[in-house]
Structure 1
């Protein structure tokens, strides 16, 4: 579990293909501030993707990328020299900020526009057009709600369900702390929608399905509605009393 508060920006210094599964081994350097308490097997979110540390030294750490990670994230597009957002897994004694971030990237989005607004930076992102995954994620994107972009917890300023786009604003402090401010139109970012929203949406959808099919608690509700309708029809003389 993570918070979406980026601790450090590291640099990709090595990208080696795996012979076994089509994945890669990546090495990130200039990472000493997040390696003081590191152990093999620890989780570090890299651009929002929860990855397992396989090796490390005082300045660098290695992780493996499986095909699923390559399909879901922008990590496969990284080249040596690219910088990435990093956050260690949440510790029990840590003050909690941001929002609950799982480190399970849902999809990628493309930067559609980027422009300064006073000392802030406004960005709009385009989700993959009309895919089942996009349609399932849109209910969890709401103005003033949370979204995780390349691992950073950010506030949504606008959502256009029809265009399947969403927008955020970076204050000056965030521009200094995140790799997002150095990206350009057309670049891809990792997106994880608010997990709480996903759970609520699923629970509501399941409840509505039960009502529609008349099963579970929905059957009791359906019976109550039928009795009310029948009573009204009898009072109006549509049905015999």
Structure 2
């Protein structure tokens, strides 16, 4: 489990294809605190550390992960939002995040609000958002501002803009989405009642 509070930005320094899998080598300031077999969220996608060397570590994405996330679009030099698993008994500053990406969305606009930024995203997935509800975008726990079918917006404070990869987003940027787990269960229960 994660919280959606990003610890640091990592940088992809190498990409190696291995049959249908892809190994990503990531450089980060938290590498020295990681261990083999540890789960780390990368743009909200939970991946397992398989190798550590100096200030870099390696994670592997299988085809299923590449198909459902934006990892297949990563290039060497890409900035990646990183978060280690939450500690049991610690404060939950964001919201409960599983690290299981539901779908991707496309940024359709970035609005400078003179001290904050408003980002609007479009997605094609049968899960609603709720105004003032929680959403995870590239692993960042955020509050939904505007909510329509297949469309939502979030507002970003300067700290989040600087310390996550949101500052790299522009119209056309593909991001990972994880919808609120409680909302997903409610939607599923309502769907089952209709059947």
The TM-score bracket by the shorter chain reads over 0.9
1:97-147, CA deviations, whole angstroms, 9 ceiling, x for partnerless residues? Answer: 10000000011000101110120000110113xxxxx12x12xx1000000
Paired residue for 1:157, among 145, 157, 160? Answer: 145
- Residue 11 of structure 1 is matched in structure 2 by 11
The counterpart of 1:88, out of the listed 84, 87, 97, is 84
> Is 1:177 the equivalent of 2:163?
yes
Q: Distance in 1 between matches of 2:186 and 2:143?
A: 19
Structure 1 runs (4+) greater than 4 angstroms displaced: none
Which stretch of the first structure deviates more once superposed, 170-179 or 88-97?
A: 88-97
Q: What are the superposed Cα offsets for residues 52-100 of structure 1, whole Å, 9 maximum, x if unpaired? A: 0001134111000100000000011010011100000111142211000
Give the Cα separation in 2 of the matches to 1:148 and 1:37: 25
Out of 21, 24, 29, which is 2:22 matched to?
Answer: 24
Name the count of aligned residue pairs. 195
CA RMSD of aligned residues (A): 1.2
Higher strand share: 2
Aligned-pair CA distance for 1:11: 0.3
1:56 and 2:52 equivalent? yes
Q: Pick the structure with more helix per residue.
A: 1
Q: Answer with 1 or 2: which has the greater Rg.
A: 1
Q: Is the CA contact 2:32–2:55 (under 8 Å) kept in the aligned structure 1?
A: no
* Structure 1 residue 38: Cα displacement: 1.7
Distance in 1, Cα, partners of 2:2 & 2:52: 20
The one-character-per-residue Cα deviations of 1:161-207 (angstroms, maximum 9, x if unpaired) are 1xx21100001111111101221110100000001111122223334
2:114 matched residue in structure 1 = 118
Q: Which has the higher contact order (CA 8 A, sep 6+)?
A: 2
List alignment gaps of at least 5 residues for structure 1. Answer: 129-133, 210-241
Deviation at 1:37, TM superposition (A): 3.3
Question: How far apart, in 2, do the equivalents of 1:24 and 1:35 lie?
Answer: 20
